[in-house]
A and B are shown apart, each in its own frame.
Chain A
Amino acid sequence: MKNIRNFSIIAHIDHGKSTLSDRFIQFTDMVSDRDFKDQILDTMDIERERGITIKSQTICLPYTAKDGMTYHLNLIDTPGHVDFTYEVSRALASCEGALLLIDASQGVEAQTLANLYLAMEHNLNIIPVINKIDLPSADVDRVMTQIEEDLGLDPDTAIQASAKEGLGIDVLLESIVQKLPHPTGDAEAPLKGLIFDSHYDPFRGTIVHFRLFQGTIRPGDRIKFMSNNAVYKVEEVGLFQIVRVPQKTLSAGQVGYLIAGIKTVSDTRCGDTITLRDHPCDAALPGFKEAKPVVFSSIYPVASDGYGDLTTALEKLKLNDAALIYEKDSSVALGFGFRCGFLGLLHLEVVQERLEREYDLSLILTAPSVRYIIVLNDGSELIIDNPALYPDPTTIEKTKEPFIRASIMVPDRYMGAVMKLCLDRRGINKNYQYLTNNRLEMVFELPLSEVIYDFYDKLKTVTQGYGSFDYDIIDYRETRMVKLDILINGERVDALSQLVHRDRAEERGRHACTRLRDEIPRQMFKIAIQGAIGGKIVARKTVSPFRKDVTAKCYGGDITRKRKLLEKQKKGKKRMKMVGKVMIPQSAFLSVLKTDDN
């Protein structure tokens, strides 16, 4: 156990966590040069395409230190984006230490702070790492000051590195061994392990990722999940070393996986405690705080018979995405589906893409909404996150919406731009304070509904990439909401309804209609798109019909070209939903919320 170190790499998005993991992996010869690729731990297609980490990944590295001893370094690479903080916090629960990376040219940003606080909550030992020192724009002294003044850490403990160039890696590995504590826990005591993640394997069933705090586990053991008393016989235990490497035993302090023929997907819960059926431990571990979804949207299959497949897919995805919550939902326009809660818009997009890619589904997501509290005339309260359930307005006494406290860190030259952006979104400026090096922390209170869609992108744009943002939900405040309905050729499409602030309702209605007009392809008849509040039409757009849709000529026997075009059109159509006679593309459902053309 003295030779084990469990640590996470944490940082603001893009500060180089996955690249640093690459260097550790190469330094310890975990993969051959031939099999190596950049950000090797970002295994999902969607991570590679977007160049960001979405899932935390564990890898166990054998490292021979200067003292001649071989250590097992359990490294967890974590995501930096604010939507995936839940991944970070679960990773931290199985560690004793953390490397906090800071990009030498960007300096401390919002998630640097947020993740530092998370690590402190878990009482972890922290090694600050100044990364990207190879960049011409690197300013190590500035970052040193920030580490001292903004983070309150000792800058002398910081290690300078370039993950890209491989500078400082050896120093870093040595200090992990020397400065981070080894795990503690009795390998002879009754088994006590924390499930911090899992995934589904079509051949082996559920693969449980866990950290052992006590005891020893080996194939053949009868284990029990303490939350539901489900019992399984362990088939295999092992370590993550890019691939799964089976071991004879795992014991206290180690991080690894187990396979136990778990076919009932819902048996495995993140945060649950694993023990032995016949020698249970005294009490379960505290587990994790539930993820608190902030954005809600309904998911429907495009195929009319796709509900069953979607159900199975969600169950399996849930194993690998503990933050996802869902319940059954139905829509007149779209049939059966699920109402889902997400940690943010990126999380929503990721869930959609994973369901589509990993489970080969074609899906429609409805316009995302936050959760409102509605006080009815009779004094009772309703909690609503689905516009379809919005009650008759005459029965409503008042409506409350969630507010956040947003902390925005920017160089002071962008102060005006940020101020404008936040005020446009109904924000209230509470405070601002100077940080080191001409940077500001601006604090706003904002309605959550105003930031869920594209606030972060907008912030990036107006601050030319220098602004960063973190938020907490603070309270619910009284507001004036109305339900905006969309009618297509006179028929209300429930899946397109949204709750909007009264003062902006008309503008939003016009906007939604314009968006839909641009998204809905022309057909052989005219398509009227109307926005309505109560019974009143507030906006109207039309998609003009085709007056002709014919190709003049087939080119000298080139039938292939035209056929390919038809095949492409047909494929596009499979991703559209028929509402009445009108084909509505998948993308249209989310487009109504986008604020302008980009």
Chain B
Amino acid sequence: MKISDGGKPSLFETASNPKHGIYVHIPFCQRKCAYCDFYSLTDLTLRQPFVDSLLQEMALVTSDEVRSDTLYFGGGTPSVLTQQQIETIMQQAKDLFTLTPDAEITMEVNPGTVTQDYLNFMRQIGINRINIGVQSFSHNILEFLGRIHSPGHATQVIQQARKAGFDNVGLDLIFGIPGQDASTWQDDLKTALVFAPEHLSCYILSIENGTHLDQMRKSKAFEPAPEQHIADLFCITQQILKDAGYEQYEISNYARIDNGEKAWRSRHNQKYWSFAPYTGLGPGAHSYRAPLRYWNVRDVGLYSAALAKGRLPIQESEKTTTEQQITEAIYLGLRTCDGIDIAHFEKLFQIDFNQQYGDTLKTLYEENLVIVDNSRCALTSKGMLFHNSIVERLIP
């Protein structure tokens, strides 16, 4: 790493989570989905120049000391890259980063973009986890969301992934879509469960500023789903997946439990919630090395231009203050079902947890929103629905 963090050891590096995560942002999609505010372009001719820049960026940030146990290709749609492009990036990562032998290497895949051959190839070059952007198994909903694929594509890709040898498959689903009733959502969940995915992410649709969906809402093309209905769907999700043998380990994330033991959590995503260090590569990608957060320019042109001059394409960095770290620790800790590790928190911030938060937590506990025991403080299933309000009451 050439980024200096002031030489201090990370406040948050714990024995259980010492290793680095690497995120690679592939900023291309075949078409922009209606709800999406991720940074991605649809001009696929820019792929090769981008890949060239990415390889340069990797070369710039490389370091021998840092051992990484996750590598995650996200986007955008990484699967719009050609096999050859993916392979060069993988090769560069293996050459330049010290990936642990058991590293979790994930790639996001859009069902409308891949073939059996492509999936076989992915597996062959060492990608061992696949996350498929299914979103829904309903034609109407996929159309509303502006997805490029049909439900059939999704089921096909899941099966092809298994055939290619992926034993760690994650599916993304979205709920809370206008007009979506409880049974449609239950059907989606049940269809997904047919494939026994190792991992499920169930996101509530959020209408972000500036998206096509946002414009449609403003022009009253649809009514957003009522909050109570979304809340109901959230609870249905928790129940159905619990019954199916999944553990909820974060507000939107569920992992299959095998033999009452191993849960297939996403190792990479957990880094975000646990203050493990991570490096984001590609335009708009975020990095963290306590207490420093920094992020790349959100523009392929500027990104490549910086790298062409041999400079890191960092747009901004911030050194988080203790107060900000506390805010983050509460915010992120309460997103996870394990919750805030109280002893760790107290040690890091020199705060008596009970003295500081006891009164507020007592009220929240009485309202059945949090659970606190000696070692951990977490939200209840109901509390998760009010994560934002609760965090607001606790942060400094």
Contacts and interface: CB of A to CB of B under 8 A. Distances in A.
A550 B395 contact: no
A566 B335 contact: no
B389 A524 contact: yes
Given A523-B389, A559-B286, A560-B286, A554 B272 contact: yes
B392 A559 contact: no
B249 interface: no
Nearest to A554: B272
A570 B392 contact: yes
Interface stretch (B152-160, B226-234, B351-359): B226-234
Given A557-B287, A570-B392, A570-B395, A548 B386 contact: yes
Given A559-B272, A559-B332, A552 B389 contact: no
Interface string B225-252: 0111011001000000000000000011
Interface in A152-210: none
Interface string A557-596: 1111011001101100100000000000000000000000
Interface string B208-233: 00000000000000000011101100
B349 interface: no
B228 A557 contact: no
A interface: dominant SS:
loop
Interface in B262-277: 271-272
Interface residues of A, number: 24
A555 B269 CA distance: 10
Contacts of B331: 559, 562-563, 566
B205 interface: yes
B328 interface: yes
A556 B389 CA distance: 22
Nearest to A553: B203
Contact of A560 (B318, B384, B395): B318
Nearest to B174: A552
A556 B74 contact: yes
Interface string B353-396: 00000000000000100000000000000001111110110010
Contact of A551 (B38, B206, B271, B318): B206
B286 A548 contact: no
A546 interface: yes
B197 interface: no
Given A554-B335, A557-B278, A560-B293, A548 B327 contact: no
B323 to A, nearest CB: 9
Interface string A518-531: 00000110000000
A290 interface: no
Interface in B84-129: none
A566 B394 CA distance: 11
Interface in B293-345: 293, 295, 318, 324, 327-328, 331-332, 335
A549 interface: yes
B147 interface: no
Contacts of A557: 23, 271-272, 278, 280, 285-288
A547 interface: yes
B280 A556 contact: yes
B25 interface: yes
A558 B295 contact: yes
A553 B387 CA distance: 12
A548 B230 contact: yes
Output the residue of A558, A559, A570, A573 with the most chain B CB within 10 A.
A559
Given A554-B272, A556-B23, A556-B25, 18 more contacts: A523-B389, A546-B227, A548-B385, A549-B387, A549-B388, A550-B385, A550-B388, A552-B203, A554-B332, A556-B285, A556-B286, A557-B280, A558-B295, A559-B293, A560-B286, A563-B324, A563-B327, A566-B391
Nearest 8 interchain pairs by C-beta: A547-B227, A557-B286, A547-B228, A552-B203, A550-B387, A552-B204, A549-B388, A548-B385
